[in-house]
Amino acid sequence: MRRETKRKVRKWMLVICLLVVACFYIYPVFLMVMNSFKPFGEIIGDVLAFPKSFDLSNYTYVVDKMKYLLLFRNNVIITVIGILGIVVFSSMAAFILERREGNYCKIAHTIIITPMLIPFQAIMITLLKSMNVLHLSGSKIGLGIQYWGFGIPMATFIIFNFMKTIPRELDESATIDGASTFRTFVSIIFPLLKSVIVTVIVLDVMWIWNDFLLPLLMVNSNNETKTLVLAAYTFVGQMNTKWNYALTAMVLAIVPSVIVFILLQKYIVEGVVAGAVKG
């Protein structure tokens, strides 16, 4: 009995310690959100105090000034285009390269996955020039398409490894029944890839949605094509020390991802773990 109580006390101590650590950990985020509801004078007066009144005027100002809805739409368009291409082209390549044999497959596989070793910043200068030539810079669709090239190596690698676990008898019997390769891929293989595709989507949505450097290089010149994070970066830069508007813009920039995370926590954490372990 005494050992039991001792264990309980220790567990409570642990929970309390964790609670304290977690509060300190998340306090900066809390402080940002809280201050975004204050007028400028109150932030300067006392950063740590609660807002004196619940006031949304910062938000109405910033949403309007930043063209928040336009930015949100841009982000959705870019992310959707990026994800669609990555998923379709990577799963097609991973499927055929894992199933077929021969030198072509080995070489193609190496060509596709090797760029995982190239850090983006090592090619960004000449990338900008190449994309200007290909007319892929300066537009949302072009930016979305560029993510295909950057996302495919990792996605193909993950899906290729997963393909190994799908028994070959499945597609062989489909072929015997007269299904074409394309048909076999679409109706037999692709549905079986569901779990690994979810992993790829989670990783790539988090990456593309929050990406900063590529949009900075490609779509920064025009206000109509900016992404959420990019516009927030510019906006905070312009607001300099007007923290009330800057903080509001920051909150608005992260709110979509936080909401999605709260709703889909389980899937996101699972996807991130699976992606890291396989990648």
Partner 1 sequence: MSRKAKRQLETVLFSLPAIILVCLMMYLPFVLSGYYSLTEWNGISKEARLIGLDNFKTIFVESGDFLSSIWFTTRYTVFFVIFSNIFALALAVALTKRFRAANFFRGIFFIPYIMSMTIVGFIWKFIFTSGFEKLYEITEWSLWNYSWLGDTKLVFYSVAFVGVWQSLGFYIVLYIAGLQAVPKDVLEAAVVDGATGRQKFFKVTLPLLGPSFTTCIFMSLTNGLKVFDIILALTKGGPGTATNSVTLQIYKEAFTNNNYGLGSAQSIVYFLFVLIITQLVLKGFSRKEVDL
Where in 232-261 is the site for partner 1 (CB under 8 A)? Answer: 232-233, 236, 243, 246-247, 250, 253-254, 257-258, 261
Read off the amino acid at residue 27. Y
E-strand stretches of the chain: none
| Residue length of the chain | 279
**C-beta separation of 37 from 52 below 8 A:** no
Nearer to partner 1, 22 or 69 (CB): 22
Nearer to partner 1, 1 or 262 (CB): 262
Nearer to partner 1, 47 or 170 (CB): 47
- For residues 255 and 6, give the distance between their C-alpha atoms in angstroms, rounded to a whole number: 42
Residue 15 binds partner 1, judged by CB under 8 A = yes
Nearer to partner 1, 197 or 246 (CB): 246
Nearer to partner 1, 105 or 201 (CB): 105
Residue 276 binds partner 1, judged by CB under 8 A = yes
Can you give the C-alpha Rg of the chain in angstroms?
A: 24
In the list 213, 223, 224, 238, the residue contacting partner 1 (rule: CB under 8 A) is 213
**C-beta separation of 153 from 116 below 8 A:** yes
Residues 136-175 within binding reach of partner 1 (CB under 8 A): 146, 148-150, 152-153, 156
Place of tokens 């779990």: 195
- For residues 129 and 84, give the distance between their C-alpha atoms in angstroms, rounded to a whole number: 25
Per-residue mark of binding to partner 1, 40-79 (x: CB under 8 A): ---xx-xxx-------------------------------
Nearer to partner 1, 53 or 103 (CB): 103
In the list 1, 4, 5, 28, the residue contacting partner 1 (rule: CB under 8 A) is 28
**C-beta separation of 162 from 193 below 8 A:** yes
Please name which of 163, 161, 194, 187 lies closest in space to residue 173, comparing C-alpha atoms: 187
Please name which of 126, 128, 94 lies closest in space to residue 113, comparing C-alpha atoms: 94
In the list 4, 5, 125, 176, the residue contacting partner 1 (rule: CB under 8 A) is 125
Shortest Cβ 32–partner 1 spacing (Å): 5
Size of the site for partner 1 (CB under 8 A): 85
Nearer to partner 1, 225 or 271 (CB): 271
Residue 212 binds partner 1, judged by CB under 8 A = yes
* Per-position b or e across 236-267, b if 16+ CB within 10 A of its CB: beebeeebbbbbbbbbbbbeebeeeeeeeeee
Using the contact rule CB under 8 A, the part of the chain among 30-38, 51-59, 76-84, 191-199 near partner 1 is: 30-38
Shortest Cβ 266–partner 1 spacing (Å): 9
**C-beta separation of 83 from 205 below 8 A:** yes
Residue 126 binds partner 1, judged by CB under 8 A = yes
